[in-house]
């Protein structure tokens, strides 16, 4: 955060994707243009040099013809590209020469070979290097050497002119490209900045706000849509948490208020106090509070993903029999009909807790008896707990699984329910990849059905 705040001005521009893309694109283009420019200059130089070579060769052919005809004049004229011409006899004497090198023995380190084109320095004529054609012609009594020199000035000038033009054109093209890329990337990224601003502005109290979704279905459009779905989930879960905390505080306050008023009444009127009754009532309330805290703790751990997720093979029939046995002498008889082996993958302690909650509810609400059973059908273990009590009205059959949901407030308070039992059942069953529901076809009392996949791991 601090780094984000401190990074201002130039630092922020330099760190931006827009800047980096622009810089990279410009750098690549500059490198390509410079390499192309250098290649262009070299190619141009080569083409011009080879044109000069052609004219030197032509001149040598002409000279050779004149030589062989024995018509070689002493003074030779110069063609367009030529700088000097000399014909040297085998003994080194100059047979013919252009005026500018008359009497000068060109002190060239002549290359070997019958005919060679090379670059050479001829300081007697000019400081700049020349293109030199050396041709050796065998004649009776030795070898006559033809030397034709051509200036490279034009080649140099043209290359320099091209290089100068490129040195202006390349930076201009790079600057133009940088400007275009900067503008295009800025345009493409502007929705991202709008999304960032909106997300930065969404505080805890403004969870209803959403980021602007561009009309396009590109990556940024999808990012915005995904972010809004995430905000939906955050809003939903935050609201659920807030409701849960509010409900929990409310639920914890009620028994505390009752305890406080009972104790205060006894203190105010000690002569009329029935201490034994107060103790009993306080003990019951404290026990209820303990149960509720334990349930709240379970749900809080579950919400935080802190529950043990390791899975073992669990026999649901065995669990049901154990839990029914634990009830002992319940207020109504509880029957069990369990298939021999009904194995699911999961946590035995959590599944036992779910079964216990269902049995406790059934016993609490039954008039004459509770029936429980486990069977395997269609790859699922089906556990049924049913009672012949007042039943759950159709509109409440889903609601009873919500936290702190009670069908009848007065009745639940009297029976000491926390309103969390069925929420915990659903949480556990769904963690095990199963489902739990109130059977709508059963109208004579209440029938809870739990279906669990026969085996497998607890889904994440």
Q: Is 422 in the site for ligand ADP (CB under 6 A)?
A: yes
Q: Is 419 in the site for ligand ADP (CB under 6 A)?
A: yes
Give the separation between CA 334 and CA 7, rounded to whole angstroms. Answer: 71
The correct pick among 418, 427, 432, 436 for binding ligand ADP (CB under 6 A) is: 418
Q: Is 288 in the site for ligand ADP (CB under 6 A)?
A: no
Q: Which residue, 346 or 421, is less far from ligand ADP as judged by CB?
A: 421
Give the separation between CA 106 and CA 123, rounded to whole angstroms. Answer: 9
Closest of 54, 73, 53, 50 to residue 63, by C-alpha: 73
The first and second tokens of residue 438, run together, are 């109130």
Closest of 316, 301, 303, 310 to residue 347, by C-alpha: 310
Q: How many residues bind ligand ADP (CB under 6 A)?
A: 22
Q: Residues 366, 369, 375, 377: is their CA dihedral positive or negative? A: negative
Least Å from the CB of residue 277 to ligand ADP: 24
Least Å from the CB of residue 312 to ligand ADP: 27
Q: Is 150 in the site for ligand ADP (CB under 6 A)?
A: no
Q: Is 417 in the site for ligand ADP (CB under 6 A)?
A: yes
The correct pick among 231, 359, 392, 428 for binding ligand ADP (CB under 6 A) is: 392
10 Å Cβ neighbour count for 243?
13
Contact 56, 150 (CB under 8 A): yes
10 Å Cβ neighbour count for 22?
21
Q: Is 181 in the site for ligand ADP (CB under 6 A)?
A: no
* Contacts of residue 326, Cβ cutoff 8 Å, sequence gap at least 6: 356
Contact 439, 385 (CB under 8 A): no
Contact 246, 236 (CB under 8 A): no
Q: Could you tell me which stretch among 35-43, 83-91, 186-194, 411-419 binds ligand ADP (CB under 6 A)? A: 411-419
Beta bridge partners of 134: 116, 147
The first and second tokens of residue 126, run together, are 């000019």
Which residues inside 346-365 make contact with ligand ADP, applying CB under 6 A?
Answer: 357, 361-362, 365
Q: Which residue, 311 or 405, is less far from ligand ADP as judged by CB?
A: 405
Q: Which residue, 117 or 420, is less far from ligand ADP as judged by CB?
A: 420
Least Å from the CB of residue 440 to ligand ADP: 14
Q: Which residue, 242 or 367, is less far from ligand ADP as judged by CB?
A: 367
Q: Is 53 in the site for ligand ADP (CB under 6 A)?
A: no
Residues forming contacts to ligand ADP in the complex (CB under 6 A) are 357, 361-362, 365, 387, 389-390, 392, 400, 405-408, 412, 417-423, 446
């Amino acid at each position: 955060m601090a780094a984000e705040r401190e990074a201002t001005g130039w630092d922020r521009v330099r760190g931006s994707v827009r800047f980096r893309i622009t810089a990279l694109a410009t750098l690549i283009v500059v490198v390509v243009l410079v390499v192309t420019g250098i290649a262009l200059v070299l190619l141009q130089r080569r083409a011009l040099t080879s044109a000069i070579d052609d004219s030197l060769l032509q001149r040598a052919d002409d000279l050779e013809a004149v030589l062989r005809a024995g018509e070689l004049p002493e003074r030779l004229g110069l063609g367009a590209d030529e700088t000097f011409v000399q014909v040297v006899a085998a003994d080194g004497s100059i047979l013919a020469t252009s005026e500018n090198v008359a009497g000068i023995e060109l002190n060239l380190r002549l290359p070997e070979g019958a005919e060679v084109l090379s670059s050479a320095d001829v300081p007697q004529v000019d400081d700049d290097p020349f293109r030199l054609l050396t041709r050796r012609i065998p004649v009776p009594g030795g070898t006559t050497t033809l030397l034709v020199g051509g200036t490279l000035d034009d080649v140099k000038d043209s290359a320099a002119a091209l290089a100068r033009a490129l040195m202006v054109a390349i930076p201009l093209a790079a600057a133009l490209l940088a400007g275009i890329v900067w503008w295009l990337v800025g345009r493409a990224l502007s929705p991202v900045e709008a999304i960032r601003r909106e997300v930065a502005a969404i505080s805890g109290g403004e969870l209803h706000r959403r980021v602007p979704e561009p009309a396009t279905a590109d990556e940024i459009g999808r990012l915005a849509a995904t972010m809004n779905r995430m905000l939906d989930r955050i809003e939903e879960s935050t609201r659920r948490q807030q409701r849960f905390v509010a409900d929990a505080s409310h639920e914890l306050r009620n028994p505390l208020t009752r305890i406080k008023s009972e104790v205060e009444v006894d203190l105010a009127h000690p002569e009329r106090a029935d201490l034994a009754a107060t103790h009993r009532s306080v003990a019951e309330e404290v026990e209820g509070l303990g149960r509720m805290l334990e349930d709240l703790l379970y749900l809080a751990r579950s919400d935080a993903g802190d529950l043990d997720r390791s899975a073992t093979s669990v026999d649901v029939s065995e669990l049901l029999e154990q839990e029914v046995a634990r009830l002992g002498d319940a207020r109504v008889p509880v029957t069990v009909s369990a298939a021999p082996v009904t194995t699911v993958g999961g946590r035995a302690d959590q599944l036992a807790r779910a079964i216990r909650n269902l049995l406790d509810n059934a016993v609490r609400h039954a008039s004459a008896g509770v029936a429980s059973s486990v069977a395997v059908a269609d790859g699922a273990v089906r556990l049924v707990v049913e009672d012949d009590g007042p039943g759950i009205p159709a509109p409440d059959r889903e609601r009873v699984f919500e936290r702190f949901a009670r069908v009848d407030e007065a009745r639940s308070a009297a029976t000491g329910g926390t309103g969390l039992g069925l929420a915990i059942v659903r949480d556990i069953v769904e963690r095990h990849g199963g489902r739990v529901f109130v059977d709508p076809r059963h109208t004579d009392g209440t029938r809870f059905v739990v279906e669990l996949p026969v085996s497998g791991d607890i889904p994440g």
